Structure 1
Amino acid sequence: MPQEAKATADDTSPPRKASSEALDVKKPGFFSTRRILGPVDKEFGDYALLVHSFVTGLVDAASFANWGVFVGMQTGNTVILGLSTAGLPDNPHAWTTTLVSLASFLAGAFLTFRSTSLVSPKGVTSNRLWLSTIFFIQAALIIISAALVSADLVPHNRTGYPDDEHKRGVIGNILIVSLFPPLGFQSGMQIATSRLLGYNELPVNVLTSTYCDLMGDAKLFALHNVKRNRRAIAVVLLFVGAIISGWLLRSSGGLQSVLWLAAGIKLLVAVFTFTLHPAKMD
């Protein structure tokens, strides 16, 4: 009898273990700590970066059209900064605006890398809350800039093509420098995020390296080439963003409509990442 009882006990052990394992892999609740602080699937990170390429086209086109300065494409700012040493272009504050934009960009990239290594040492995708926060901060910084423009606290060309005198007055006003820290900082965060997500083929802020990598791709004309597709779509989206920005600048909405649109898009990316981005499956 004792042996039979022991056998019976042994026979019933596996089901209890399986039941325990089933509880362990139960899908976490939407507001559970396990989900909020848990990993997300890196495979879907390229969608957010492609959307950010579109935002770069919006914001950089508007910034250059208004003040002759970029907030994301820092190669252009470096060239403009060099020209400013010879008094070119015809903008007394060109060196200030480009330098502030460049410094803000560097600060944004630097702090994004360093803070991620502290908050999420296993990688940016290992913590849903942190990845969402990075996107929320970028949206908030553009919202700040949009609010400054909407409140007419920063000189800008809101409609059409103003005469040269008016345009010189706008780009010559040092108050515009207040816009570049938030816009440059979020641009630095944006490209740092693309690196942290591991999508080096989507630098989101620039296209020079993208064009080069496209031409150097041995499988450029292959039917199935994911990296080629990402690069090509990024080019198209940035270009379309610049086109839309140009037409919005000519509309009654002007610069503020561009910035609010860019902020809204980034905010949607942040919300999507927090709520709908698929979790990483073990």
Structure 2
Amino acid sequence: MPGIAERNNVHVRGTGETAMMFAHGFGCDQNMWRFVAPAFEEQFRTVLFDHVGAGGSDPRAYDKNKYSSLAGYADDVVEIGRELDLTDAVFVGHSVSSMIGVLAAERAPGMFGKLVLVGPSPRYIDDEGYRGGFTPEQIEELLQFLDSNHMGWSTQMAPVIMGNPDRPELGQELTNSFCRTDPEIAKAFARVTFTSDNRSDLTRLAVPALVLQCSDDIIAGKEVGDFVSRTIPDCRMIVLNATGHCPNLSAPEEVISAMRTFV
């Protein structure tokens, strides 16, 4: 089996004593942080990686049982952190990786001292007293569309997720990223992502967190961001002017500026 660095295509840069780990969202890879991570290389040792099945990760490491829940991805984060001897590091997670970071922090106390959660959602499906933004039927329809037509789903959904229709090149980049992902792994990861419920995990987060919430995000709306920031014991939220679900691409300077107030 590949080593941890090869398995997750780990890249370490920067010179700081404290590490900052960046984790990408569904259908993406570490390249999505290329406008944000370099800004922190003077102050931090930056750690970028790809979840198994994404980017330059080793596809041989994919195990459908291990990755049938977000716990498998969180275990990988912890393994990377132990390999690099991380202590009191900053974890920066985009979208589904926000919850992966919450799980990892719980699994490895002391590894992460702060979490930055970009566009987080602990549950995408509406529930009694909770609005995640989607009905069960809408999520199932989305997943069935992906099951039946990976390329079609990518082409149609990526621009909607990205937002910023006045900048079509952003939607095209996300489309290309989705299309590069192994279809079978993408289908499985999508089901894990969109059917998970991590609301109770938020209450157990023992380190400070910052939620970066886009002002208009079809995937994780402000109501969800409010829930996350309200439920994590030590948390604050910054609402960005940025729109869409990927401010790390569409508004990196605003993301960097907001992060600097916290780290």
The question of a shared fold, defined as TM-score above 0.5 by the shorter chain, is answered with no
Task: Name the larger-Rg structure.
Answer: 1
**Greater share of residues in helix:** 1
| Short-chain TM bin | under 0.3
